[in-house]
Structure 1
Amino acid sequence: MQSNKFLRLFFFLSMPLLFWACDNNELEDELEDEFEFQHVVSYEFLDSISSEEISARFGENNPASGFINFDITAHKITYMTENYDGTEVEASGLILIPIVSGSSKLTSFQHSTLAKDPNPEIDQESRAPSYLSVDNAEIHLSASLFAANGYMISAPDYIGYGSTKDMFHPYEHAQTTATTSYDMLVAAREYAEFLDVKIRTDNDTEEEELYLLGYSQGGNSTMALHKYIEENHSDVFTITRSAMGAGAYHKSAVGDYIFNYEGDLGFSISLYLWVMDTYDRVYLQRGMDYYLQEPYASEVKNNGYFALSNTNPQEIFTEEFIAEVNDPNSEFSLALADNDIHDWKAEAPIKLYHHENDQLVPYFNSVDAYNNMTDNGSTEVLFETYTFTNVSPEEIHGAAGGNFFADVISLYFRSGI
């Protein structure tokens, strides 16, 4: 069983109403005296969730029930990481721990896009992982399912959410995404050590197993994290497998596709404005007027990215900016290229997932990643193309996400297929 230290901590922290007169801090102080944190700044027990409750979330006769084997506990931690401007910030994230008799599989779970917007009806701050919101299906369903199957989940909020909610979120800036997720993972492993939660090791190498996964923005974040670990911290973590779905890995090609598109894209351009604004803040600092024609520049500056309803790039963007996109040596093109994460050699196995008719994140992102990474001699890159046609075009991206999480837990993480 898990150690007495963990059971005592869980007992005291999860039953505050029954033991409100007891000095829980005394027990925590005793435990902390035995352990000196290097990475975790603060921690908070959030909830204990039974396997029966998780199963009920999926409804009756759902295949997911076959993967729900353990109760889980939920915790929020904060830790230090570096923002895009080089400043140190105290970021936050969620940890889900399965109550198992043996070891847990350490897993970094990168979430998909959560809107940041001045309009509270659009803003999704409350869905960041550490809030443990029922409105975030990725956490409430998918991450909880993985945890109940024996995976210890490390889910960073990302900078701009949770403890850093008042900060700008550097949307799909590869370096910041990678370091924020990596530092959370390091802190999560330290927190597991503090609670005497055992991490599963490979039978042959005795190295700790590590799994990475994420869909959409989470797919991009997972690719960035995988690359960052292998290129900078292979002595700290050895990745077992990574699964990433529908990520925008080839930013240069995406920029060419979106900003040069003629006619209506057929979907909101808001997320691409966010990426554009991120790269401007990180690399260029020109301001929205350089990129957008009026009245669109004022609309976005006053009301946020999601206020823009026009989906015709040739009417939205300035000629000067589009010309720069088409110059591979321009400052903005170099910023896009700095965030390309589709063309490198991976040592650990990767599986890509993407629907061929995805409108929001073009399919060529995964095609390009598969071809380039395979050509570079990556150990193993698999590619699953979804082709289902029973949903409307605008719902394909979201529907494929459901397939992604089901396929990863049932096939890829379990059997490598």
Structure 2
Amino acid sequence: MQKSTPSLSFRYLGYLLIWSLLILNSCKDDDTKLVPPTEENVYLKESTPITSLSKAQIIQKTGSLSGLVTAYVKNDIKVYKITYKTKNTDGTDITASGALIVPVTSNPVSMISVQHGTITDIGDAPSLFRDGSEGSSFGSLFGSMGYIIAYPDYIGYGASDNLPHPYEHRASLASASLDMLRAAKEYLRGQTEIKWDEKLYVAGYSEGGFATMSLQRKIEEEASSEFNLRASSCGAGAYDKTAFMKHIINDKTDGIAGYNSLYLWVLLTYDNIYKLNKPASYYFTEKYASKIAASGRNVSIAESFHLALNDSFKKALNDGTDKGFIDAIADNDVYNFKPKTPTQLYHGTKDPLVFFFNSENAYNAMQKLGATNVTFIKVTDGTHSSSILPFLLGTQAFFAETP
């Protein structure tokens, strides 16, 4: 007992000294307080307020759907444009952008990364938040439901609209979307207005469906420690590029010029990104080759796409001799993996633009690899446009049921 007394005294004196120092520090001016160092942003460059919308304004934006969606609109929203660092298809550093939509609520909320569908007008980029655009209408609606919405522009729109959009290019759609999420995470870390519960959902339709599956796979394979990915909803994406290309070079399609312009866009994008450097006359008959050489994807092809292609090019693909183009197509097949995340696929059975077999092949491949968490919803007689509403309603229900 006698040996312990000095020890207790010194300890007591030590406590008094520490307490005195704390009191002295607390009496100093505020500008001399020690401030914990802030984490430096790696991806986020800038955030700029775009607008704020009330619940009434959000319902008004939905137009003819207002009667259907009124019950889902629960919060006002605030919209920001964020710019962030990412890489172009050639690996160079660039600045990209997107919209970040946050609900006005004190409750913790989850985040949805929404990958937009095909944009032919750069004014429809999500970060511009133009009335009538996908980002403005669907982004507002899902944000008002009580989700943080990350809406990447992709390369070629918004802050990077001086660059060509790498249309349907798996790797860059995935990386631009993932880096947007990283930037959004840094933004949310630096403010207290909204509480993110760390849960992430991903969704998209058409090109957005393809981009969503590409993003999902990249997160699962490379960034699972960064994000708590809870569910993925992919609608009408061209996931099986190899089967898609074989179909449009060999089989009769509807011959709708608007559809063919998108097929042409994919072909020219891959020729450029993979440095195939073939002249238009290698791919297309003389009826179209000189026009495409001059005007790119803006040429109207108003007949079945396969009739616009040279027989020699089709033969080179069918017999496997054009290895460069075949490999480029295969590099953009995204479906052949076993998802770790609960996943649903939506597709209209009569989609004339992005053919139904894309989702069917994806589902079958995932099942063959042992996936037990993938659901395939077939929209009976659905076209590419008529299947959007079932996809949206199904996505909302799916995310609500997957906490």
Q: Distance in 1 between matches of 2:327 and 2:310?
A: 19
Q: Distance in 2 between matches of 1:292 and 1:197?
A: 55
Partner of 1:307: 299
Partner of 2:371: 378
Q: Please tell me whether the aligned partners of residues 324 and 332 of structure 1 are also in contact (alpha carbons under 8 angstroms).
A: no
Partner of 1:240: 230
Q: Distance in 1 between matches of 2:402 and 2:206?
A: 21
Q: Give the drift of 1:388.
A: 4.6
Q: Give the drift of 1:378.
A: 2.2
Q: Distance in 1 between matches of 2:71 and 2:315?
A: 54
Q: Please tell me whether the aligned partners of residues 199 and 209 of structure 1 are also in contact (alpha carbons under 8 angstroms).
A: no
Q: Give the drift of 1:39.
A: 1.4
Q: Distance in 1 between matches of 2:315 and 2:303?
A: 19
Partner of 2:62: 58
Which residue of 274, 285, 288 maps to 1:293?
A: 285
Q: Give the drift of 1:313.
A: 2.9
Q: Give the drift of 1:404.
A: 1.1
Q: Gaps spanning 5+ residues in structure 2: where?
A: 1-36
Find out whether 1:218 has 2:205 as its counterpart: no
> What SS is found at the alignment partner of 1:196?
coil
- Aligned amino acid, residue 103 of structure 2: P
Q: Gaps spanning 5+ residues in structure 1: where?
A: 1-32, 116-123, 202-207, 390-395
Find out whether 1:76 has 2:73 as its counterpart: no
Find out whether 1:87 has 2:87 as its counterpart: no
Q: How does 1:167-246 map to 2 (within 5 A)?
A: 167-201=163-197, 208-246=198-236
Q: Give the drift of 1:59.
A: 4.7
Q: Distance in 1 between matches of 2:310 and 2:233?
A: 38
- Deviations 1:46-89, CA, capped at 9 Å, x for gaps: 00111111012235861211111011000001111111111111
Q: Give the drift of 1:314.
A: 3.7
Partner of 1:278: 269
Q: Give the drift of 1:325.
A: 2.1
Which residue of 302, 318, 322 maps to 1:326?
A: 318
RMSD: 2.0
- Aligned amino acid, residue 180 of structure 1: A
Q: Give the drift of 1:93.
A: 0.6
- Deviations 1:314-335, CA, capped at 9 Å, x for gaps: 4311222212221346221111
Q: Please tell me whether the aligned partners of residues 347 and 379 of structure 1 are also in contact (alpha carbons under 8 angstroms).
A: no
- Deviations 1:255-308, CA, capped at 9 Å, x for gaps: 000111247544531111111111111112223232112231222233342422
Q: Please tell me whether the aligned partners of residues 325 and 333 of structure 1 are also in contact (alpha carbons under 8 angstroms).
A: yes
Find out whether 1:403 has 2:390 as its counterpart: yes
Structure 1 outlier segments of 4+, above 6 Å: none
Q: Please tell me whether the aligned partners of residues 250 and 365 of structure 1 are also in contact (alpha carbons under 8 angstroms).
A: yes
- Aligned amino acid, residue 307 of structure 2: E
Q: Give the drift of 1:166.
A: 1.5
Q: Please tell me whether the aligned partners of residues 301 and 308 of structure 2 are also in contact (alpha carbons under 8 angstroms).
A: no
Q: Please tell me whether the aligned partners of residues 188 and 196 of structure 2 are also in contact (alpha carbons under 8 angstroms).
A: no
The alpha-carbon distance between structure 1 residues 322 and 50, as it changes in their structure 2 partners (threshold 3 A), is: same
- Deviations 1:11-32, CA, capped at 9 Å, x for gaps: xxxxxxxxxxxxxxxxxxxxxx
How many positions carry a matched residue from both structures? 364
Q: Please tell me whether the aligned partners of residues 328 and 334 of structure 1 are also in contact (alpha carbons under 8 angstroms).
A: no
Find out whether 1:253 has 2:243 as its counterpart: yes
Find out whether 1:348 has 2:341 as its counterpart: yes
- Mark the structure with the bigger radius of gyration: 2
Partner of 2:128: 131
The alpha-carbon distance between structure 1 residues 199 and 342, as it changes in their structure 2 partners (threshold 3 A), is: farther
Q: Please tell me whether the aligned partners of residues 199 and 230 of structure 2 are also in contact (alpha carbons under 8 angstroms).
A: yes
> What SS is found at the alignment partner of 2:184?
helix
Q: Distance in 1 between matches of 2:303 and 2:147?
A: 41
Q: Please tell me whether the aligned partners of residues 327 and 333 of structure 1 are also in contact (alpha carbons under 8 angstroms).
A: no
Q: Give the drift of 1:311.
A: 2.3
> What SS is found at the alignment partner of 1:133?
coil
Partner of 1:412: 398
Moved more, 399-408 or 218-227: 399-408
Q: Please tell me whether the aligned partners of residues 106 and 195 of structure 2 are also in contact (alpha carbons under 8 angstroms).
A: no
Q: Structure 2 length normalisation: TM-score? A: 0.86
Q: Please tell me whether the aligned partners of residues 213 and 244 of structure 1 are also in contact (alpha carbons under 8 angstroms).
A: yes
Q: Please tell me whether the aligned partners of residues 159 and 165 of structure 1 are also in contact (alpha carbons under 8 angstroms).
A: yes
- Deviations 1:106-126, CA, capped at 9 Å, x for gaps: 1111000011xxxxxxxx100
> What SS is found at the alignment partner of 1:351?
strand
Partner of 1:151: 147
Partner of 1:18: none
Moved more, 371-380 or 209-218: 371-380
